[in-house]
Structure 1
Amino acid sequence: MREIIHRLRWEDRGASTAEYAVTTMAAVAFAGVLLMLLRGDEVKSILTELVRRALTVDG
């Protein structure tokens, strides 16, 4: 009986699986926020202008 209680108390085999699940959900949420930001017209215009400036040759 002592061994079973000890095993239930200290065994964390499923902990890493739960940690992976939480990390995956956080990454998906972060990707969703980035997607919403990048779909905005203001961000599109800023990025377009940045690329245009980077590709323009002064001279």
Structure 2
Amino acid sequence: MSARTRQTNNNAEALDDFISAKFEIDAMLERLKGFSEDRCGARSPVSPNPDAGVASGSR
């Protein structure tokens, strides 16, 4: 087997591994999104940081 064939095989294996990992991560994110929706409602609003824009000591 030539070096080029080995490189092609390694690239194909690396791509397959990457795609598999991406699908696993996407599935985990969907589960987390579902847990968040169950806990916080269908769409939880983003609450602003209450300290944003407040100078220290002015509260």
TM-score bracket for the superposition, by shorter chain length: 0.5 to 0.7
The number of equivalent residue pairs is 43
Partner of 1:24: 19
The two structures have a TM-score, normalised by structure 1, of 0.57
Query: How big is the shift at 1:48?
Result: 1.1
> Among the aligned pairs, what percent are the same residue?
9
Partner of 1:49: 45
Distance 2:20 2:10 in 1: 15
Higher helix share: 1
Distance 2:45 2:2 in 1: 58
The root-mean-square deviation of aligned C-alpha atoms, in Å, is 2.3
Partner of 1:57: none
The two structures have a TM-score, normalised by structure 2, of 0.57
Query: How big is the shift at 1:37?
Result: 0.5
Q: Stretches of 4+ moved more than 3 A in 1?
A: none
The structure that has the greater radius of gyration is: 1
